[in-house]
């Protein structure tokens, strides 16, 4: 069986005392295992990152920039190879996998602008003969801990800017789909990144605990579920690290009565069921305002019947399997419990049969959902769309704002004034207007509000430069030029 290794100080390392299973979700077979790092292995990787730091932070911005340009070229060229790896371990369809890599590449493109992003400021003559300037310097060794659902894109969200700013990195990917992290680290090495600057430690809680407690790790970037994000935030902060921890989501899509019905129904299908609902920006609650509800539910239901679910490698598939058998059971339990909570199951994805042992489940639509029902309150992270019916715009905003999560939200309307008011009123980090999954482009930053983010800075884009650097302000005074041994012709006053 293939063992997925760590990548430490430029070498692949497969020895371990413990291994975790890696499944192909489309077949249900375990065809790989991943080495799970012990505390000692993580310490070895931290030592490599620490040793590589002085030379990397001294590398010229031009040298760093050239590496990012080269990474972009190689990753673009090998996109199909990496996409096939993603599909074989995560299950998403190949077009989604390629899309994920393209979005991740935006962060590498952003990093090529590092000499602009790292510019400081200067004030001349703040006092007689005194100038002040600021510089941004790396924080040191950075730990990046990532979830299973975007095994290439989320690592690229973090490592692009962390490395550009002159830090060295330990990437701890999800143990469920760990290969792409090693693939990406090898691409960086091929592009000229020195050994030890980017290391991958595979593992679970033991590896994460070591990263959070080790004094040589200075910053932690985390993306994952809310309970883990909250605990990572507290523990890393307790150990004196700066930390940003992005958590889970329950994204609402508000549809006003004047919305374009077909546009809203198409958006609901792709945003709720794309990537089997395993996206932190997936729409999981449709908020139907006023009299549009019946027509909207009917339009979504009719589209669901045509969705093709199958292996991600089949170009005809629009949705692949879930990540594990346990996760499929958990997703199914929400649909099973919905009727007894008082909701109406319009389409029950559990009834769809698949000719495979893969972790497939059909798509579900649950109507007349209300807060207080588990199907509404919990992040399901699967292909289940709940419909909440409300009477008015203000009821819709209250519902969204009362929800514990605030990652993304969308409004569908033809009314510019209503959309503008929504942008002003709504409590979420990312807002879409007739756009169901409003993931900011690489030149903005990504992050939610409330229990979707613990920390102050959002991820990638301009916020990442602040997170991965420390500001330093230098105040300078030189001896009086009139006393210089060089004749400056001083004073030069006209």
- Which residues would be at the binding site for ligand NAD (CB under 6 A)? 145-150, 154, 172, 174-175, 204-205, 208, 223-225, 228, 246-249, 280, 379, 381, 407, 448, 452
Minimum Å gap between C-beta 490 and ligand NAD is 57
| Residue (87 or 226) nearer to ligand NAD, CB | 226
Tokens (6 digits) for 72: 């972009």
Evaluated on CA atoms 214, 107, 429, 173, the torsion sign reads negative
CB of 122 to ligand NAD, least distance (A): 36
Using CB positions, name the residue nearest to ligand NAD. 224
347: nearest Cα among 372, 371, 364, 360: 364
> Which pair of tokens denotes residue 437?
């999954």
Q: How near is the Cβ of 445 to ligand NAD at its closest, in Å?
A: 11
- Please, are residues 136 and 165 in contact by the beta-carbon 8 Å criterion? yes
Q: Least distance in Å: CB of 225 to ligand NAD? A: 4
Would you give the DSSP letter of residue 403? Answer: S
334 or 381: CB nearest ligand NAD:
381
Question: Closer CB to ligand NAD, residue 170 or residue 228?
Answer: 228
Tokens 């230098």 correspond to 474
Q: What's the closest the beta carbon of residue 413 comes to ligand NAD, in angstroms? A: 26
State the nearest-atom distance from the C-beta of 229 to ligand NAD, in Å: 7
Q: Which two tokens stand for residue 233?
A: 């935030």
Query: 289 and 390 in contact (C-beta within 8 Å)?
Result: yes
**Which of 166/408 has CB closer to ligand NAD?**
408
- Residue whose C-alpha is closest to residue 402's, from 357, 442, 450: 450
Three-state secondary structure of 125-162? EEECCEEEEEEEEECCEEEEECCCCCCCHHHHHHHHHH
Q: Smallest gap, in angstroms, from Cβ of residue 472 to ligand NAD?
A: 30
Nearer to ligand NAD, 318 or 407 (CB): 407
Per the residue annotation, which of 97, 211, 271, 280 is the catalytic one? 280
The DSSP secondary-structure symbol of 426 reads -
Please compute Rg for the chain using Cα positions: 25
- Considering beta carbons, is residue 118 or 459 the nearer one to ligand NAD? 459
Nearer to ligand NAD by Cβ, of 161 and 452: the residue is 452
CB of 327 to ligand NAD, least distance (A): 8
> Which of 232, 338 has the CB closer to ligand NAD?
232
Phi, psi (5° rounding) for residue 390? Answer: -130, 160
Handedness of CA 192, 196, 198, 201 (dihedral sign): positive
Q: Which residue has the tokens 């000719």?
A: 355
Is residue 280 part of the annotated active site? The answer reads yes
Q: Tokens standing for 124?
A: 């001349």
Long-range contacts of 295-299 (CB under 8 A, 24+ apart): 295/261, 296/255, 296/261, 296/264, 296/265, 296/268, 296/387, 297/346, 297/365, 297/367, 297/387, 299/261, 299/262, 299/264, 299/265
Contacts of 286 (CB under 8 A, 6+ apart): 252, 253, 255, 268, 272, 296, 300, 385, 386, 387, 388
Catalytic residues: 280
């Amino acid at each position: 069986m293939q063992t997925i290794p760590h990548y430490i100080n430029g070498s692949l390392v497969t020895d371990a005392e413990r291994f975790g299973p890696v499944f192909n979700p489309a077949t249900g077979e375990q065809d790989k295992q991943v080495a799970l790092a012990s505390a000692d292995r993580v310490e070895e990787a931290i030592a490599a990152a620490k040793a590589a730091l002085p030379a990397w932070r001294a590398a010229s911005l031009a040298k760093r920039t050239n590496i990012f340009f080269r990474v972009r070229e190689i990753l673009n060229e090998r996109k199909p190879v990496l996409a096939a790896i993603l599909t074989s371990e995560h299950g998403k369809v190949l077009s989604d996998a390629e899309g994920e890599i393209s979005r991740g590449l935006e962060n590498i493109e952003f990093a090529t602008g590092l000499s602009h992003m790292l510019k400081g400021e200067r004030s001349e003559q703040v006092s007689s003969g005194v100038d002040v300037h600021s510089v941004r310097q790396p924080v040191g060794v950075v730990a990046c801990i990532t979830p299973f659902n975007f095994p290439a894109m989320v690592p690229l969200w973090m490592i692009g800017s962390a490395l550009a700013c002159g830090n060295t990195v330990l990437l701890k990917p999800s143990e469920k789909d760990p290969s792409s992290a090693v693939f990406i680290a090898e691409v960086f090495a091929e592009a000229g990144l020195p050994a030890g600057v980017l290391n991958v430690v595979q593992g679970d809680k033991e590896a994460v605990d070591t990263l959070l407690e080790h004094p040589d790790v200075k910053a932690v970037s985390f993306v994952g579920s809310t309970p883990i994000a909250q605990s990572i935030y507290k523990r890393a902060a307790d150990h004196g690290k700066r930390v940003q921890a992005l958590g889970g989501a329950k994204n609402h899509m508000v549809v006003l009565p004047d919305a374009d019905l077909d546009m809203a129904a198409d958006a609901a299908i792709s945003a709720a069921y794309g990537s089997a609902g395993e996206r932190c920006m997936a729409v999981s609650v449709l908020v139907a305002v006023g009299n549009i509800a019946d027509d909207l539910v009917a339009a979504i239901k009719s589209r669901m019947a045509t969705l093709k679910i199958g292996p991600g490698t089949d170009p005809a598939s629009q949705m692949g399997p879930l990540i594990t058998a346990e996760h499929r059971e958990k997703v199914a339990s929400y649909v099973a419990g919905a009727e007894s909570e008082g909701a109406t199951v319009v389409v029950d994805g559990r009834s769809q049969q698949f000719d495979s042992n893969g972790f497939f489940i059909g798509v579900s639509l649950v109507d007349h959902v209300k807060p207080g029902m588990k199907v509404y309150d919990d992040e399901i992270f699967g292909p289940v769309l709940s419909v909440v019916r409300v009477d008015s715009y203000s009821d819709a905003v209250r519902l969204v704002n009362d929800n514990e999560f605030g990652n993304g939200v969308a409004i569908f309307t033809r009314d510019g004034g209503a959309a503008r008011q929504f942008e002003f009123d709504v409590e979420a980090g990312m807002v879409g207007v007739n756009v169901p999954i409003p993931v900011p482009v690489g030149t903005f930053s990504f992050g939610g509000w409330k229990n979707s983010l613990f920390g102050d800075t959002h991820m990638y884009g301009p916020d990442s430069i602040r997170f991965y650097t420390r500001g330093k302000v230098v105040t300078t005074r030189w001896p009086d030029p009139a006393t210089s041994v060089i004749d400056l012709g001083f004073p030069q006053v006209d």
